[in-house]
Structure 1
Amino acid sequence: MKIDVLICGAIVAAMVPAAALADDPHDPAMRNAAARAIDSAKTRELNRQENERVVRTGVRWHVVRSGSVEEPGDDGYAAALRDHDRAMDQYGRDRARYERQMAEWRRAVAACEAGDYSACDNR
């Protein structure tokens, strides 16, 4: 048991200095302008590559979502997604109808409470 605690402590102690230097503004390697420029160029390139990957993924997702293509091994995912979209559209229509009915009911209740007894039948 005591050995496990010591091993865990050693692992944590080894990781802390690396984590502390990850974004250290006083990093000795970033003191000159050339090193900062190289680091900045690498960061821009990594960001560009990641953006391209995200765009490719997004385009592929859009194609699948639009239903124009089903990917290999999709197992009907695009069809299920279309079913979900249709269900959400139906839910929106049902919700709007419910809100209209509730507004009509509230108006009838207000009219009934105000003395218009012909509106009381709609309660």
Structure 2
Amino acid sequence: MREGFAMPFNKFAGAFALAAVVVAATPAMADDPNDPTMRSAAAKARDRAIIKRLNEEQLRYVQQRDAGYAKGWAAYRSAPRENARRQAAYEREMARWRHAVNMCESGRHEYCAR
């Protein structure tokens, strides 16, 4: 039974390794100065236009993302008292919870319900 399992696995592993070697050995045509499809001025201009459009789209995305981040940070900074109050309330609640955990673990089961 063990041999029956190992044999197909070895064939699969060998086929996978062969496919990986073939793919890795295939030359990539991106940025290839000898690429036959990029010999004409029109093809190069199209390629430049596509790259420019993609770069501009990415720039717009990053600017919108960063504007959202800036808005969030501005809101956070504009309310330091509120943030301090929330942080203090959170820390008080965590202290209560830690106390309840310690009491529960020490045998005070009325604290375990929390």
Q: Which residue of 2 aligns with 1:24?
A: 32
Normalised by the length of structure 1, the TM-score is: 0.49
Q: Deviations over 1:64-94 (max 9, x none)?
A: 11126xxxxxxxxxx5xxx8xxxxxxxxxxx
Matches within 5 A, 1:1-123: 1-17=10-26, 20-67=28-75
Normalised by the length of structure 2, the TM-score is: 0.52
Q: Displacement, 1:2?
A: 4.2
CA distance in 2, matches of 1:34, 1:62: 41
CA distance in 2, matches of 1:60, 1:16: 44
List, as ranges, runs of 4+ consecutive aligned residues in structure 1 with deviation greater than 2 Å.
Answer: 14-17
The sequence identity of aligned pairs, in percent, is 30
In structure 2, stretches of 5+ residues that fail to align are 1-9, 77-82, 88-114
In structure 1, stretches of 5+ residues that fail to align are 69-78, 84-123
Please report the RMSD computed on the Cα atoms of aligned residues, expressed in angstroms.
2.4
